[in-house]
């Protein structure tokens, strides 16, 4: 055995360069100094990451670069496996710069062949780096030799397959972008896309599908595509999923089946993946019809054998009941839909029927159904085995002279469909048909009928195992009619276990498990286990069920009546009360109030329905005892009561939140300084006999800056107090924009923001003014006169609709430093004295060629108002309306480029419409997304003319339901110009 020099091994493990130099001078050939596993000093230095020693060894003996150990690994294999980038880089560069005399067959074909040296597993250095996820090492190796991507190892794994398996998305993307050939394969005919699908790496799947879409249909050794593995290993994710990527790229992949005939839908349904199953069926509904080699589709896989029957027709649940395994029965019936508790075996017995033995002599020779219900079941569908049956032949498949039915032998019932199974000795085929005529008194006469060849009769293997059967025995077996199938039901079982006391207790336990499942899903009434112990006969059980049903019905009626009473009273005692003017609810616009009304209505409806059904239930009891319809009634009434209770609870929470909101507002208002309560006048005005009632509030704002918040909170409180039209005016001691002040230092925007926010919260609109711009003047000694617009009048939109022609005038002041405000309102437009005669339109005017010039001159002579002001006001009203409707995604379009520029720019706007623009910007913050865009419109003359005319009459824009007469000419001109 070869061993390494002790001193050399110590130098390799310690990384001592000096010790290596001292020992190397004494050793003639370093290639002979190897460990028992043929590791050289270069292998050991690379494994222990001694970079300085590696450089010294390579300079001393370069041939060690390509020398393998017992596993075929070179020093570069070990460095790549560890992931030491600097060592790998040095070894690669050294391999390219040093020329050795190694034979080509040993992997030393100079330069590139040294990087392609394979160990005993045929792994290159690139395989090792990828297997351990060293991305930087992979980049370095592929830059020196890009053809490494084409080398496969002994397992058939390509480097790209390992990169996809390791989730190295960046490496896969770089490899796919290169122009060099690539190998995509993996073990057992897998591909890189298979690996990415197995490990659910969406990024790599996207890259591979985009580069080579054909990989989607590639099948492995078992015929499975990447989609098969994706649905087998992972659940469906709606946001981002590999399964969705594969289905979208190639629709045919959903129909590809493996060697067992199973598609991706088979795997998804068999694993219980509802999300994947719904996704595949939603895209390709006909994929459900795909069957495997056993003839099973995806639905069979969903059932997973819970409903499969044996030769006697027994399901797993039948066998669990027969053997008295109570725990297994309870486990199988744990969830609804897992098993069918009503399925019958060949003796027409359900699992529940098997739990009722013939304990008493009075039940002998009775079927379980008859012993339980007292009614003899119908056996008309049961026929004698071996009798003659005529299967109807369709008219399209027979000639005129042929018989309408084929003579066959009745041999049983079909498990797949509700039909009879017949045997035709002449054709040696089994016929399944529903249209059958039986002759139970007649059997097949084997002597008179046509002779049948022995090869035509097929004897099953299990029959042949019991002994030889000749043709005559088979004929006797078939010709001998068997007793009716019902006889196997009425005859007692030879197993005496069922009638012993121990067997009775065991069967009762199984029956209790089945009955509890039926009660859970509404097929039976819940029972008390203690009461069940004393019940012995079906009559006692029926009496007990009737008693329990009556008690439950009485309790339900009482609870439903109480809920109906409370919810009915709450409908008329709404929180917040009613308005004295029109009788409407004060808080009708509140979201919490609307939730209160809705849930209270649900509670009332459900409880009243429950009371009605409980009353109807008593009528059913007059015509019989306990029945299944009673259970359904009770279950439905219980659900209604639960819904009513939940709705009543939500209504209580909504009403409590309204009360807390009002309480907090009133409490906060009571904590305001007492002097502030004396600084406003709030009155309700209206006309007797009419419903036009509105509020008028006069206010005086606090002059101190630190206490102005009290005024703004007072405004908000007054706004929430009533829902009627409201106008508010007075001295607010604050301005809203820089243009409303003259003299001294310009006021900061943040100081005015609180006032504008209060105006916006109160849904108030500035009514404008006529006269002097400023309402307050104060002479300063050095700065000169300081003038501000501290007094103003504002109103809600419904008040503006009520009085559309209101004007506010700034009167001259004599003894005070404030100008008085005159609020003049009228419901009719002001009359112009010079227009005493009515205007009449003549249709012939439109035909005149001078009509267009006259209209243009009329437009030019109108009051010139900036379109930006009109568009800004329209934008503000539109955002308010959208906010009331609960819309969160808004795109605001305007044909005024100046308005759009002012709304999107961040510059301070000091123009006249700055207040409106600031309101729009503030409202914009209330939406999830709000953008502004400019739209060029043609034929918009009507809207512009209407806006100019409105501004020429009043200072405030209002919406009018009826178009004014002067608008007709403009409309006709606009329409005629576009025809």
What are the DSSP calls for 233-251, one per residue? Answer: H----SSS-HHHHHHHH-G
Residue 325 and residue 357 share a domain: yes
Q: Long-range contacts of range 267-271, CB-CB < 8 Å, 24 or more positions apart?
A: 267/228, 267/231, 267/232, 268/231, 268/298, 269/298, 269/299, 269/301, 269/302, 270/301, 270/302, 270/304, 271/231, 271/232
Give the separation between CA 842 and CA 962, rounded to whole angstroms: 21
Neighbours of 106 (CB within 10 A): 12
Q: Are 647 and 606 in contact (CB under 8 A)?
A: yes
Report pLDDT for 647: 92
Of the candidates 666, 686, 721, which is a domain's last residue?
A: 666
Give the separation between CA 107 and CA 111, rounded to whole angstroms: 10
Residue 775 and residue 695 share a domain: yes
Domain assignment present for residue 295? The answer is no
Residue 798 and residue 862 share a domain: no
Domain total in the chain:
5
Q: Which two tokens stand for residue 618?
A: 């008593």
Q: Are 70 and 81 in contact (CB under 8 A)?
A: no
Give the separation between CA 791 and CA 700, rounded to whole angstroms: 9
Which has the closest alpha carbon to 804: 968, 950, 967, 692?
A: 950
- Is 776 in a helix, a strand, or coil? strand
Residue 688 and residue 644 share a domain: no
Chunked in runs of 10, what are the mean pLDDT values of the chain (979 residues)? 81 86 81 85 88 87 87 89 88 74 44 77 88 88 86 88 88 85 87 86 86 87 87 64 81 86 83 76 83 75 59 70 65 60 73 59 51 54 80 78 83 76 85 84 69 38 32 32 28 33 44 57 54 53 71 86 90 72 68 87 92 79 54 83 92 81 49 58 68 81 85 86 85 88 80 88 88 80 75 88 84 81 70 52 71 68 57 81 83 78 68 70 83 69 59 47 56 54
Residue 508 and residue 434 share a domain: no
Residues in the chain: 979
Compute the 3-state secondary structure of the chain and give helix, strand, coil in percent, each to the nearest 5. 50, 10, 40
Residue 701 sits in a domain whose CATH number is 3.60.10.10
Residue 601 and residue 701 share a domain: no
Domain assignment present for residue 135? The answer is no
768, burial (CB in 10 Å: exposed 0-12, middle 13-18, buried 19+) = middle
Q: Which two tokens stand for residue 724?
A: 């009627």
What secondary structure letter does DSSP report for 253?
Answer: G
Instruction: Specify the pairing of strand 680-686 against strand 405-413.
Output: unpaired
Give the separation between CA 624 and CA 631, rounded to whole angstroms: 13
Domain assignment present for residue 287? The answer is no
Residue 339 sits in a domain whose CATH number is 1.25.40
Residue 323 and residue 423 share a domain: no
Residue 690 and residue 818 share a domain: yes
The distance from CA 197 to its chain's CA centroid, rounded to whole angstroms, is: 23
C-alpha distances out from residue 39 to 4, 50, 894, 951, Å: 9, 15, 81, 98
Domain assignment present for residue 501? The answer is yes
- Give kind and range of the element (H or E) at residue 555: helix 538-572
Domain that includes residue 598, residue range: 538-666
- Give kind and range of the element (H or E) at residue 429: strand 429-433
Beta-bridged to residue 808, according to DSSP, are 823
- Give kind and range of the element (H or E) at residue 443: strand 436-443
844, burial (CB in 10 Å: exposed 0-12, middle 13-18, buried 19+) = exposed
Domain assignment present for residue 604? The answer is yes
Residue 882 and residue 810 share a domain: no
**Terminal-residue alpha carbon distance, the chain:** 107
Report pLDDT for 602: 93
Residue 708 and residue 652 share a domain: no
Q: Which two tokens stand for residue 661?
A: 């909101």
Residue-wise burial string across 668-691, b where 16 or more C-beta atoms lie within 10 A, e elsewhere = ebeebeeebeebbeeeeeeeeeee
Residue 623 and residue 551 share a domain: yes
- Give kind and range of the element (H or E) at residue 674: helix 674-677
Q: Are 226 and 246 in contact (CB under 8 A)?
A: yes
Beta-bridged to residue 408, according to DSSP, are 389
Q: Which two tokens stand for residue 915?
A: 């207040």
Report pLDDT for 793: 93
Phi then psi for residue 883, to 5 deg, are -70, -35
Report pLDDT for 307: 62
Residue 689 and residue 818 share a domain: yes
Domain assignment present for residue 940? The answer is yes
String of DSSP letters for 955-972: SS----SS--TTHHHHHH
What angle separates helix 967-978 from helix 941-953, to the nearest 10 degrees?
160
Domain assignment present for residue 440? The answer is yes
Neighbours of 599 (CB within 10 A): 23
Report pLDDT for 973: 59
Q: Which two tokens stand for residue 228?
A: 């098969």
Instruction: Specify the pairing of strand 387-392 against strand 405-413.
Output: antiparallel
Report pLDDT for 832: 47
Of the candidates 824, 856, 887, which is a domain's last residue?
A: 824
Domain assignment present for residue 433? The answer is yes
Q: Which two tokens stand for residue 313?
A: 């027709």
What secondary structure letter does DSSP report for 578?
Answer: B
Report pLDDT for 749: 82
Instruction: Specify the pairing of strand 784-788 against strand 741-742.
Output: antiparallel
């Amino acid at each position: 055995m070869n061993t390494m020099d002790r001193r050399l091994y110590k130098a390799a493990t310690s990384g001592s360069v000096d010790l290596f130099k001292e020992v190397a001078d004494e050793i003639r050939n370093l290639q002979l100094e190897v460990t028992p596993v043929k590791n050289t000093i270069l292998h050991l230095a690379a494994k222990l990451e001694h970079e300085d020693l590696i450089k010294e060894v390579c300079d001393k003996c370069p041939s060690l670069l390509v020398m393998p150990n017992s596993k075929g690994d070179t020093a570069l294999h070990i460095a790549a496996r560890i992931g030491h980038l600097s060592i790998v880089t040095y070894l690669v560069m050294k391999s390219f710069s040093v020329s050795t005399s190694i034979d080509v067959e040993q992997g030393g074909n100079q330069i590139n062949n040294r990087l392609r040296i394979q160990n005993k597993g045929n792994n290159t250095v690139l395989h090792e780096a990828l297997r351990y996820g060293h991305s930087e090492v992979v980049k370095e190796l592929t830059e020196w030799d890009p053809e490494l991507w084409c080398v496969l190892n002994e397992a058939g794994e390509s480097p790209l397959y390992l990169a996809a398996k390791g989730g190295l998305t960046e490496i896969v993307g770089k490899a796919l972008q290169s122009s060099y050939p690539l190998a995509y394969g993996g073990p057992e005919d897998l591909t890189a896309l298979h690996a990415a699908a197995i490990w659910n790496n969406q990024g790599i799947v996207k890259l591979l599908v985009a580069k080579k879409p054909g990989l989607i249909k590639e099948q492995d050794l078992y015929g499975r595509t990447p989609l098969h593995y994706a649905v087998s290993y992972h659940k469906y994710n709606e946001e981002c999923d590999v399964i969705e990527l594969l289905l979208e790229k190639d629709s045919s992949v959903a129909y590809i089946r493996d060697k067992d005939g199973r598609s991706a839908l088979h795997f998804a349904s068999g694993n219980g993946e509802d999300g994947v199953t719904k996704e595949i069926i939603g895209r390709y509904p006909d994929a459900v019809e795909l069957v495997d080699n056993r003839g099973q589709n995806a639905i069979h896989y969903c059932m997973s054998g819970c409903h499969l029957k044996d030769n006697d027709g027994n399901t797993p649940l039948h066998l669990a009941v027969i053997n008295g395994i109570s725990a297994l029965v309870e486990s199988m019936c744990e969830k609804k839909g897992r098993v069918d508790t009503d399925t019958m075996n060949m003796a027409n017995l359900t699992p529940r029927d098997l739990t009722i033995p013939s304990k008493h002599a009075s039940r002998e020779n009775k079927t379980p159904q008859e012993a339980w219900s007292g009614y003899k079941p119908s056996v008309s569908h049961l026929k004698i085995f071996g009798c003659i049956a005529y299967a109807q032949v369709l008219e399209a498949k027979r000639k005129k002279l042929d018989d309408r039915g084929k003579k066959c032998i009745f041999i049983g019932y079909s498990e797949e469909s509700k039909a009879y199974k017949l045997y035709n000795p002449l054709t040696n085929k089994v016929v399944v048909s529903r249209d059958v005529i039986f002759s139970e008194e007649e059997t097949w006469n084997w002597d008179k009928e046509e002779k049948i060849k022995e090869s035509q009769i097929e004897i099953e293997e299990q029959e042949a195992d019991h002994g030889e059967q000749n043709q005559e025995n088979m004929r006797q077996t078939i010709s001998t009619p068997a007793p009716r199938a019902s006889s196997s039901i009425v005859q007692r079982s030879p197993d005496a276990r069922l009638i012993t006391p121990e067997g009775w207790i065991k069967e009762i336990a199984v029956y209790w498990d089945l009955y509890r499942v039926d009660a859970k899903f509404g097929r039976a009434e819940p029972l008390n286990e203690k009461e069940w112990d004393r019940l012995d006969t079906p009559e006692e059980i029926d009496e007990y069920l009737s008693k329990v049903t009556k008690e439950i019905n009485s309790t339900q009626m009482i609870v439903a009546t109480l809920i109906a009473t409370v919810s009915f009273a709450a409908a008329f005692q709404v929180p917040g009360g009613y308005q004295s003017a029109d009788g409407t609810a004060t808080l009708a616009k509140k979201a919490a109030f609307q939730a209160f009304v809705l849930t209270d209505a649900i509670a009332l409806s459900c409880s009243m329905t429950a009371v009605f059904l409980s009353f109807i239930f008593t009528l059913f009891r007059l015509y019989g005892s306990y029945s299944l319809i009673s259970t359904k009634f009770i279950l439905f009434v219980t659900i209604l009561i639960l819904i009513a209770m939940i709705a009543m609870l939500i209504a209580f929470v909504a009403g409590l939140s309204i009360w807390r909101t009002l309480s907090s507002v009133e409490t906060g208002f009571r904590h305001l300084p007492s002097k502030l309560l004396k600084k406003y006048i709030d009155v309700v005005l209206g006309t007797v006999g009419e419903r036009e009632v509105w509020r008028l509030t006069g206010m005086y704002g606090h002059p101190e800056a630190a206490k102005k918040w009290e005024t703004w909170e007072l405004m908000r409180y007054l706004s929430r107090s009533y829902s009627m039209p409201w106008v508010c005016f007075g001295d607010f001691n604050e301005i809203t924009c820089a243009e409303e002040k003259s003299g001294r230092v310009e006021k900061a925007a943040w100081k005015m923001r609180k006032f504008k926010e209060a105006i916006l919260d109160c849904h108030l609109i500035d009514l404008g003014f006529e006269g002097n711009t400023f309402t307050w003047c104060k002479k300063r000694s050095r700065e000169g006169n300081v003038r501000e617009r501290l007094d103003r009048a504002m109103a809600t939109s419904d008040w503006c609709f009520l009085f559309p022609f209101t004007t506010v005038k700034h009167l001259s002041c004599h003894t005070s430093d404030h100008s008085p405000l005159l609020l003049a309102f009228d419901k009719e437009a002001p009359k112009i004295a010079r227009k005493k005669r009515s205007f009449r339109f003549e249709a012939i005017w439109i035909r005149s060629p001078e009509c267009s010039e006259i209209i243009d001159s009329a437009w030019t002579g109108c009051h010139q108002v900036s379109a930006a002001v009109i568009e800004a006001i329209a934008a503000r009203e539109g955002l308010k309306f959208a906010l009331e409707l609960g819309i969160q995604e808004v795109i605001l379009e305007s044909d005024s480029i100046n308005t759009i520029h002012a709304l999107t720019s961040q510059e301070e706007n000091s123009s006249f419409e700055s207040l409106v623009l600031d309101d729009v910007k503030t409202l914009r913050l209330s939406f999830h997304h709000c953008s502004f865009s400019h739209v060029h419109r043609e034929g918009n003359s009507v809207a512009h003319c209407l806006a100019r005319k409105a501004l020429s009459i009043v200072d405030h824009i209002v919406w009018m339901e009826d178009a004014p007469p002067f608008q007709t000419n403009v409309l006709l001109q606009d329409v005629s110009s576009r025809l």
